[in-house]
Amino acid sequence: MDVNFQAELESLFRTNFLQAAPLYRESAKFKLPYEDLKSATNLYRGATYDVTRKVEEIADWFIFDKIPYSQDHARGIAQRFGIEAGTLIDGLIRMENARSHRDHDLRNTTDMKAVDVFDHADGRRNFQIILQDSQIPSINGPDANIKEWVGYRFYFCCAVVSREYKK
């Protein structure tokens, strides 16, 4: 697989993700420690209460079985994935705002904290795009080849800090 093409797909995803997630763009970001991915995470300390949320793993894939694989088709899928993932994350941020502020404008992100989708606190990359661009022979014989496919995966969580303790 061409590393430059994979980087291009990642860039397409990222661009479309950020366009589809205006609340994510406006939210305060912080980097999640990689070790905290598989458990409920204490997202903020120092307020009048601690905020704990489960980290969500967001993933999707597309198998090129009904349409033939080409780099143009893979680009289109990466763009579509970015729009769909951005819309999902925008919705999760709105739900967090609604959970914490029942009589509040759901578009307001002035007190929202969201995990940075693309990097972890230790510098490890969170977002992964996977591309299998040539058929793999299956263990079931040459007639059962595994088709080309493209997918992505990242972790995300968000929390509202509404009553911050100030000295």
Query: Per-residue DSSP letters for 50-91?
Result: -EEEEPEEEEEEEETTSS---HHHHHHHHHHHHHHHHHHHHH
**Integer CA distances (angstroms), 112 to 16, 64, 125, in order:** 22, 38, 23
Q: How many CB atoms lie within 10 A of CB 56?
A: 16
Q: 112 or 43: whose pLDDT is higher?
A: 112
Please report whether residue 166 resides in a domain.
no
**Rounded mean pLDDT of the chain?**
80
Please report whether residue 115 resides in a domain.
yes
Number of independent structural domains in the chain: 1
Average pLDDT over residues 25-49: 70
Chain segment 136-165, per-residue pLDDT in tens: 666 666 666 778 899 999 988 887 765 554
Are the C-beta atoms of 115 and 157 separated by less than 8 Å?
yes
Please report whether residue 129 resides in a domain.
yes
Please report whether residue 32 resides in a domain.
yes
What pTM was computed for the model?
A: 0.80
Please report whether residue 26 resides in a domain.
yes
Return the bridge partners of 160, or none. 112
Residues spanned by the domain of 123? 3-160
Give the type of residue at 29: K
Chain segment 79-117, per-residue pLDDT in tens: 999 999 999 999 888 888 777 777 767 677 666 777 777
Q: Is 99 exposed, middle or buried (0-12, 13-18, 19+ CB in 10 A)?
A: exposed
Please report whether residue 79 resides in a domain.
yes
What CATH code is carried by the domain that includes residue 155? Answer: 3.30.2400
Please report whether residue 165 resides in a domain.
no
* 11: pLDDT strictly greater than 80: yes
